[in-house]
A and B are shown apart, each in its own frame.
Chain A
Amino acid sequence: MSLLELHQVSKTYGTGPNEVHAVAEIELDVDRGSLIAIMGPSGSGKSTLLTIAGSLEEPTSGEVFIDGDSLQKMSHNDKARLRRRTVGYVFQEFNLLAGLTAVENVSLPLELDGIGARKARSAGMAVLEELGLADRATRYPDELSGGERQRVAIARAVIGGRHLLLADEPSGALDQANGEAVMRLLLSACKKGVAAVVVTHDAQLASWADRVVFLRDGRIVDQTVPPPSAESLLQTEPQP
């Protein structure tokens, strides 16, 4: 069973002549341990797909399953709990709270879930340490570089053993080295059993994924097949 499953998911805005199909008949499975990239131009429905997968938006038709449970059958409270405990989000603009330090930002989801402040903070420190940010723990977001802010946002997304990571253009405004660092972090989270979906228009970022799904006008038009070993690139014969 895949951690995230979308079956025939469609989302329509407006009615009659103003009807817009944001996404249509999406079929997508994401297993634990795998990183999936959804690639498409602006307006192709990438972000809508991600917000539906993360239960932030309801599809017009079709079904979403997270860990085998249908979102359609969940109450409002069940979904809120799912978002706190299972799903982590990473956005292009990082969305850190300016009035909280790095470690306070990271441990916030645990506190919101009713875990004591001290316990939440030590869990937050542990995640920051893992991501090489221990010395930034007591800094405020405006005292951090763009790359550090995004790493803090990833720490906040994975804390508490959440195992579905949804990232929307996670390295949008970062330079190449920081963008690469973000993808390495997402990949290492996947190696620990997390399932991750990254939406991006950037082929270099998408190429970190195990599978790349191409979205055009709200529909999945194609996807990559698992590539052969990278070693095949190194075994070319000498040119005569």
Chain B
Amino acid sequence: MSVKHALLGLLSEQPKYGHQLRQEFEEKTGDIWPLNVGQVYTTLQRLERDGLVESDEADSEGPQKRFRITAAGERELAEWLMTPIDLTVPPRDELVIKVLVGLDIPGVDVRRVLQIHRRYIVELMQQWTRLKDDEGQYDFRLALVVDAELFRLDSVIRWLDAVDGRLKRAATEPRAASADIPILRRRLVVRK
């Protein structure tokens, strides 16, 4: 999460005080990502050092300081928005590693490992969905954050289902399964 760029975004509307930035950051991210005051001021100091923001009164302390985005800050913000985030390298996913390790351990029922995770994730998804269900609290920004989290968790469930399907097919067609392994290895080597 880029606190730095989120703060630049908030300052691009108008100059703001540190405590105000913290409050607006939390509001605008649907209250999902709490931010402590220390984090806000540390980030602002770095932004000021790098010439991306400037403060009104250079000598006044902490809460009295009002920050304004500079032209360099505007350019940095625009560039960040338009640059795709880096998705080229697969994340080191603990669940994927767990399943790969589990496959080689004698006596481990990998399908049980999958189901434990499937249930846990669906329970998490039920909690996120309840946030959407509470229409009295409907908040457009919160809905976007909740959707993002639901799609992310859903993709994990789909992967678990795909593993289940592959294990089932591997049990009935052992040759097809062993033929898959060298292909996968080759790809992983390329990634390095």
Question: Contact flags (1/0) for A169-201 with B, using CB distance below 8 Å?
Answer: 000000000001000100100000000000001
Cβ contacts under 8 Å, A223 to chain B: 119
The residue in B126, B128, B130, B150 that gathers the most chain A C-beta atoms within 10 A of its C-beta is B126
B74 within 8 A of A: no
CB < 8 Å A-B pair total: 85
A225 within 8 A of B: yes
B115 near A207 with CB under 8 A, answer no
Question: Contact flags (1/0) for B140-165 with A, using CB distance below 8 Å?
Answer: 00000000001101100110010011
Cβ contacts under 8 Å, A202 to chain B: 154
A41 near B165 with CB under 8 A, answer yes
A89 CB to closest chain B CB (Å) equals: 24
CB < 8 Å neighbour of A204 from B119, B133, B154 = B154
A222 near B115 with CB under 8 A, answer yes
Stretch at the interface among A5-13, A126-134, A140-148, A231-239: A231-239
Rounded to whole angstroms, the CA-CA distance of A184 and B143 in the bound complex is 15
B64 within 8 A of A: no
Rounded to whole angstroms, the CA-CA distance of A204 and B152 in the bound complex is 10
A204 near B131 with CB under 8 A, answer no
B43 CB to closest chain A CB (Å) equals: 12
A237 near B34 with CB under 8 A, answer yes
CB < 8 Å neighbour of B36 from A204, A207, A208, A238 = A238
CB < 8 Å neighbour of B31 from A187, A207, A208, A234 = A234
How many residues from B make CB contacts under 8 Å with A? 33
B35 near A207 with CB under 8 A, answer no
Cβ contacts under 8 Å, B123 to chain A: 212, 224-225, 227
B34 near A238 with CB under 8 A, answer yes
Rounded to whole angstroms, the CA-CA distance of A204 and B121 in the bound complex is 11
Cβ contacts under 8 Å, A216 to chain B: 111, 115
B104 within 8 A of A: no
CB < 8 Å neighbour of B125 from A184, A204, A237, A240 = A204
A233 near B125 with CB under 8 A, answer no
How many residues from A make CB contacts under 8 Å with B? 33
CB < 8 Å neighbour of A224 from B32, B119, B128 = B119
A222 near B127 with CB under 8 A, answer no
A23 within 8 A of B: no
Q: B26 — nearest CB in chain A belongs to which residue?
A: A238
A238 near B126 with CB under 8 A, answer no
Kindly identify, within residues 13 to 72 of chain B, every residue whose CB is under 8 Å from any CB belonging to chain A. Answer: 31-36, 39
Cβ contacts under 8 Å, A39 to chain B: 122
B12 within 8 A of A: no
Rounded to whole angstroms, the CA-CA distance of A233 and B150 in the bound complex is 13
Cβ contacts under 8 Å, A212 to chain B: 119, 122-123, 126
Which of B's residues lie within 8 Å of A, judged by CB? 31-36, 39, 111, 115, 118-119, 121-123, 125-134, 150-151, 153-154, 157-158, 161, 164-165
Supply 22 A–B pairs (Cβ within 8 Å), ascending by A.
A41-B161, A201-B161, A202-B154, A203-B122, A203-B153, A203-B154, A203-B158, A207-B126, A207-B128, A208-B126, A216-B111, A222-B118, A224-B126, A225-B123, A227-B126, A227-B127, A230-B128, A230-B134, A233-B128, A234-B31, A239-B35, A239-B39
